Structure 1
């Protein structure tokens, strides 16, 4: 009799356990965006860029491209819409914990949906719009987006050294300035005027664009490099031009610090343009974007800037 009771209890518990397995997960989908500055030079028709989010579900159709009908980048009020194509959607290894909940990193690998050889996309406030086959739509704020198409080949200046210095704002390491060695490979003297960074809210301080003779260490402070008492990262001097001579068949090493004049106080990857004069007039060299600092966009010091979307079932 006792064994029958135990068997019956085990059978009852087994039925409950199996039933629980088939109860649908009714928790809402949560998507976390960490806004950043995207500053990208398109150097190849095959080039893609990535946009990452944290999500609390990795088994939903929202991240299966077979269920997605279209993807685009939209300006703040949808005045401009840039169509995109999806190369891939993938989940990273491991998980992140935020507010005592487990999240997965999902990466959208995307391409601009058209080709051109001279075009600039510059959205101060940008949304990734995802439309699904069931007519559902998500609009996720991703930050500032700058993307330039440029296939020009420069035969006057080459770069033989490029590095950055970094500093910390509110616990986040970001670029404080760049050091670059330029080589004049033309048969005439050139005049370096200014550096322009691929962003609307972070800029080079061309007032301090200057020739230096020793490459600075990664964490050398800007004021030590420039030999000034203090350096104000929040000032603006974007309209200033210099006249730095780069002689024929000679090289020069330059340093220029950054100014942060917008809401996002960090940048890890960007393209920039060097504007100069030759005998015929104005010309420029665009330097491809590469990671000056390799770091995650999802870290504790950025949590105050997270935007959390909750999508009901």
Structure 2
């Protein structure tokens, strides 16, 4: 099923939710109209700061809250596409799930090099699961960006340095871009096309979204140069999508991959995506898990989320409450999740 914008009589929760939304709107992220300057301030490495993918100015706070499939709060321009930043990673995971469901990726434990031919060296022990959980430890370079310069790895407690596959977790856009490269080779099609046919068209997403890569990001497949999208926006690019369309994606996961009776993603893939990684229990297949209250300390442990740009873009899914929250360009979003969750009975 998909969300309806019909009003729902939950009067005992709505005042608290509306108050939470008003507070979130007042916490608008400043400076996003000059996205190049804003983006530059987020990139801390000095050696490779050049933006090599497109940027999109921000449009201000927006959001949607759905409860049991009905929208109960809405603010801002929910139909305007925005950069998704690292929320893109979760969509990349869903594209991998579609490949798994269709038999293109029968074993996530298989070495990537045994499955596809790539223009970079990975090593025989690096598996698809390592890429999906950000535990690959890959030390290579893609399109002029070496993995070791991605300071995000250090920000979230990981290490940008090389580690044996599976030994350590690190939040790293270069290694996620390696997954995008491998999935493009696996599908033998641009991933934007795959996402449209396998995910977004089946759930009724608008035609306004787009998915971008870096200027020189391509791979030769069957004699044709295919564009390779980026899995985040550390150096530009990534998924650009509206708040309304992100809500649809959240509803798909809330419904365990089912949409109006059609299984778009398997329940097995949903379960695997939300299964904690052994070296970082707060992470699944490019999903954040709040089981230990490490993602948002005051939010429910039952929540799973996609996060981007320091949580300024958030897709929150809480199956226990039948709740989906999408927030864009609002600071301190953990307060919004806490306040809305407190207003929803379990």
Larger Rg: 1
TM range, normalised to the smaller chain? Answer: under 0.3
Per the normalisation by structure 1, the TM-score is 0.22
Per the normalisation by structure 2, the TM-score is 0.21
Instruction: Considering Cα pairs closer than 8 Å and 6+ residues apart, tell me whether 1 or 2 has the greater RCO.
Output: 2
